[in-house]
Amino acid sequence: MKIERVPTGVPGFDELIGGGFPKGSSTIVSGIPGCAKTTFAMQFIANGALRFNDKSIFITVEKDLNSLDRTFSQFGYNIRELHKTGRLGVIDLEIKPEMGEDFLDQIISPKFLSKVREFGASRIAIDPLNLVLQFSGDFGGERRGVQRLINAYSGMGCTMLLTYERLRQREDLEYEAADFVVDGIIYLQLIKSMGSFGERSFFERRLSILKMRETDHAQGLYRFRIEDDGIHVYSDILLRARK
Ligand SMILES: Nc1ncnc2c1ncn2[C@@H]1O[C@H](COP(=O)(O)OP(=O)(O)O)[C@@H](O)[C@H]1O
Ligand SMILES: [Mg+2]
């Protein structure tokens, strides 16, 4: 059976995963602060709405429509316009732990899911997933919570991209419960490079695909940059060859 692919539209990335994420799959984009998780997630969502005729929803814990619009206007995306024309939804889950709000319960409630269905969304991003889980009382723990979330959305045919904040960057990523449940893991890193003689050291961005079910994905550690229109992945520069 041929697997339907959902392209991210991030230049240089889709060819690493056979054209795009498997439709209905869920992928974690993981890394430390500033590694470009939110940027990647928004490119997936905005490109879906702009170029692939997919309605998309960006669920955020810490940003509202105004700040997303301002941030992504620098890359040429008009989030407000996409929002106004009904192609891109922004759900801003406010942080109000004192009110006992359960974010996970909120976004998998039948009422919320029927709104998503009504909107016609086929791409969902949650930024960041760990904050949603942190403000959730799911008694079965994180793993069960993520499983419930994934079941709800993949059941509707939605392809999900979930960002996940890491406190530390390690050569070997320390995995969380969520990593075992999702279909894919993309790891973004900031790696210190030594300049050649006389130059200072600097940080370079790297992307690797640690897991992508149903996909013969690329195995390298690839350089990427944030350019005028967002993330570009340079897969021609393979830093660690396939064994
Ligand atoms: N216009 C730009 N050009 C190049 N890099 C940028 C630009 N705007 C932001 N950045 C980089 O993107 C980083 C923030 O990316 P973001 O996606 O918010 O990271 P994360 O969500 O992983 O914390 C900034 O720290 C900065 O290095
Ligand atoms: Mg972020």
Average pLDDT score, the chain = 92
Global pTM? 0.94
Task: Tell me which DSSP letter residue 173 carries.
Answer: P
CB 30 near ligand 1, within 6 Å:
no
Torsions phi, psi of 132, nearest 5? -60, -45
Residue 200 CA, ligand 2 centroid: distance in Å: 27
Nearest to 38 by CA among 141, 133, 165: 165
CB 226 near ligand 1, within 6 Å:
yes
d(CA 49, CA 154): 19
The protein residue whose alpha carbon is closest to atom 13 in ligand 1 is: 34
CB 36 near ligand 1, within 6 Å:
yes
Residue 164 CA, ligand 2 centroid: distance in Å: 9
Give the contacts of 150 (CB within 8 A, at least 6 positions apart). 26, 160, 181, 182
Between strands 5-6 and 21-22, the pairing is antiparallel
Q: Which atom of ligand 1 is nearest to the CA of 71?
A: 8
The protein residue whose alpha carbon is closest to atom 14 in ligand 1 is: 34
Q: What is the mean pLDDT of residues 122-135?
A: 94
Between strands 202-212 and 184-193, the pairing is antiparallel
Residue 139 has pLDDT above 70, yes or no: no
Residue 3 CA, ligand 2 centroid: distance in Å: 30
Q: Which atom of ligand 1 is nearest to the CA of 127?
A: 21
Residue 74 CA: which ligand is closest? 1
Residue 39 CA, ligand 1 centroid: distance in Å: 7
Q: Please state, for a pLDDT cut of 90, what percent of the chain lies above it.
A: 77
pLDDT tens-place string over residues 26-63: 999 999 999 999 999 999 999 999 999 999 999 999 88
The protein residue whose alpha carbon is closest to atom 25 in ligand 1 is: 34
Residue 138 has pLDDT above 90, yes or no: no
The string over 25-47, giving b where at least 16 C-beta atoms fall within 10 Å of a residue's C-beta and e elsewhere, is bbbbbbbeeebbbbbbbbbbbbb
CB 109 near ligand 1, within 6 Å:
no
d(CA 243, CA 235): 17
CB 34 near ligand 1, within 6 Å:
yes
What per-residue confidence (pLDDT) applies to 240?
A: 52
Hey, which of 29, 38, 226 would you mutate to test ligand 1's pocket, going by the most ligand atoms within 8 Å of its Cβ?
Answer: 226
Burial of 238 (0-12, 13-18, 19+ CB in 10 A): middle
Of the options 3.40.30.10, 3.30.260.10, 3.30.200.190, 3.40.50.300, the CATH number for the domain spanning 5-186 = 3.40.50.300
d(CA 146, CA 138): 10
pLDDT tens-place string over residues 198-212: 678 889 999 999 999
Q: What is the mean pLDDT of residues 189-197?
A: 85
pLDDT tens-place string over residues 69-115: 999 999 999 999 999 999 999 999 875 555 447 889 999 999 999 99
Residue 140 has pLDDT above 90, yes or no: no
Q: Where are the domains of the chain?
A: 5-186
d(CA 103, CA 135): 6
